[in-house]
């Protein structure tokens, strides 16, 4: 599955993955930190390529490689990843727009 790649005027690359059950991010061990955005906590970890990933979960936060983790955001910083994921969950229609086309 190809990630949605929105274009930003400021040139910050952000990737959004949806329903990517067979694709798991390659994360560095022991880099998980949960980031609080408003009232929601999002788990984040450093990817092998130096970016950071935040992922969605339905109950207790699983590892990014767990089968329950099917949607995540990769960005240059963990705060940008968590904040972007938060914004997308605040407006779920944006997921559809990012992955259409």
Sign of torsion over alpha carbons 24, 69, 82, 94 = positive
Place 1 in a pLDDT band, splitting at 50, 70 and 90.
Answer: very low
pLDDT at 2: 44
* Residue 7 falls inside a structural domain: no
Q: What is the mean pLDDT of residues 74-97?
A: 82
* Residue 64 falls inside a structural domain: yes
pLDDT at 90: 80
* Residue 2 falls inside a structural domain: no
3-state helix, strand, coil in the chain (%, to 5): 20, 25, 55
CB 61 within 8 A of CB 101: no
* Residue 3 falls inside a structural domain: no
Q: Which domain holds residue 65?
A: 15-99
Report the number of distinct structural domains present in the chain: 1
Q: How far apart are CA 85 and CA 79, in angstroms?
A: 10
Query: In this predicted model, what pLDDT tens digit does every residue of 35-68 receive, in sequence order?
Result: 888 777 888 899 999 999 888 765 566 677 777 6
Planar angle of CA 10, 13, 15, nearest 5 degrees: 140
Global confidence as pTM: 0.50
pLDDT at 88: 82
């Amino acid at each position: 599955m190809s990630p949605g790649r929105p274009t930003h005027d400021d040139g910050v690359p952000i990737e959004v993955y949806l329903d990517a059950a067979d694709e798991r991010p390659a994360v560095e061990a022991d880099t998980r930190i949960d980031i609080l955005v408003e009232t929601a906590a999002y788990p984040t970890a450093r990817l092998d390529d130096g970016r950071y990933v935040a992922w969605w979960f339905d109950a207790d936060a699983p590892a990014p490689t767990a089968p329950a983790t099917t949607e995540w955001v990769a960005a240059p910083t963990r705060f940008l990843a968590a904040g972007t994921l938060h914004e997308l969950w605040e407006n779920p229609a944006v997921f559809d727009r990012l992955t259409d086309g």
